[in-house]
Amino acid sequence: MSTITRLALAVAAASVVTVGGAAEPSKASRVYGFGSPATTDELGAFVSPLPDGRGLPQGSGSVTRGKDVFEAQCAACHGAQLQGGLGDRLIGGRGTLVNDLPTKPPVKTVESYWPYATTLFDYIKRAMPLYQPASLGNDDVYALVAYILSEAKIVPGDTTLDQDSLAKVRMPNRDGFIADHRPETFPPVAQSPHSN
Ligand code: HEC
């Protein structure tokens, strides 16, 4: 799923909280006589963590552990050097997205394109490995993120990531995006169900 689609989903879910979060029975439960408004916690499970770390689960994982998990669960598709194969190339391409050289095509990877490290956690946790999505525990996902970011030379090789340190990682393309200037299209993140 694209980042834009996920952002749209996050915003949609955030608006539900605003509308349905009150003690009033929801329209659906009034009509059908069952069900209850989704709680903030329940909605949180559908909404991606925010770039500042709100919504990230507890846990931690090291680069070394991530390397082991990657070799067992990911390398078959993404390549032992993260160079891609059946699945996308994950590292490299930094600085290629905007250039004037016809001989230098843009190479879009986690390293060169993704603005937030928290998205990497969320994507792997929900979508990978491709044949068994959402099967990995939080510690393994933190470890995988640490490993991929260390192979991309964004964090040192002795890094251990958790919910606090992951949000502090600054991705190389962080400033490569233009913010949408229409507040009515993308309401402030303050409306997210994530409060922790
Ligand atoms: C069976 C093959 C397969 C396996 C195994 C697999 N992936 Fe993927 N991965 C893919 C494919 C295919 C995509 C592209 C999916 C799409 O665009 O919808 C992808 C996309 C990704 C992306 C997004 C890349 C981008 O730039 O958009 C990341 C990150 C990722 N995988 C990480 C992992 C990790 C970590 C593991 C191991 C836990 C893993 N994958 C296991 C096939 C696989």
Coil, helix or strand for 104? coil
Closest ligand 1 atom to the C-alpha of 144?
35
- Tell me, what's the pLDDT at 156? 98
Residues having CB closer than 6 A to ligand 1 are: 73-74, 76-78, 86-88, 90, 109-110, 120, 123-124, 128-131, 144
- Tell me, what's the pLDDT at 47? 87
CA atoms of 52 and 40, how far apart (whole Å): 18
In DSSP terms, which residues pair with 162 in a beta bridge?
A: 60
Say if residues 165 and 63 touch (Cβ distance below 8 Å).
no
Coil, helix or strand for 161? strand
- Tell me, what's the pLDDT at 26? 60
The label of the residue with tokens 């990911």 reads 74
Vertex 72, ends 134 and 149: CA angle to 5°? Answer: 75
Kindly give the distance from the C-alpha atom of residue 32 to the centroid of ligand 1, in angstroms, as a whole number.
41
CATH pick for 52-175 out of 1.10.10.10, 3.40.50.620, 1.10.3720.10, 1.10.760.10 = 1.10.760.10
Kindly give the distance from the C-alpha atom of residue 17 to the centroid of ligand 1, in angstroms, as a whole number.
31
In DSSP terms, which residues pair with 60 in a beta bridge?
A: 162
- Tell me, what's the pLDDT at 180? 80
Kindly give the distance from the C-alpha atom of residue 129 to the centroid of ligand 1, in angstroms, as a whole number.
6
Mutate to test the pocket of ligand 1, among 77, 107, 119, 135 (most ligand atoms within 8 A of CB): 77
Chain CA centroid to CA 122, Å: 3
- Tell me, what's the pLDDT at 1? 44
Cα distances (Å, whole numbers) of residue 30 to 24, 37, 113: 10, 11, 46
Cα distances (Å, whole numbers) of residue 96 to 90, 140, 151: 14, 30, 18
pLDDT by residue, tens only, the chain of 196 residues: 444 444 444 444 444 444 444 455 566 566 788 888 888 778 877 889 999 999 999 999 999 999 999 999 999 999 999 999 999 999 999 989 988 888 889 999 999 999 999 999 999 999 999 999 999 999 999 999 999 999 999 999 999 999 999 999 999 999 999 888 887 777 666 667 776 5
Q: Kindly list the domain boundaries of the chain, sorted by start residue.
A: 1-47, 52-175
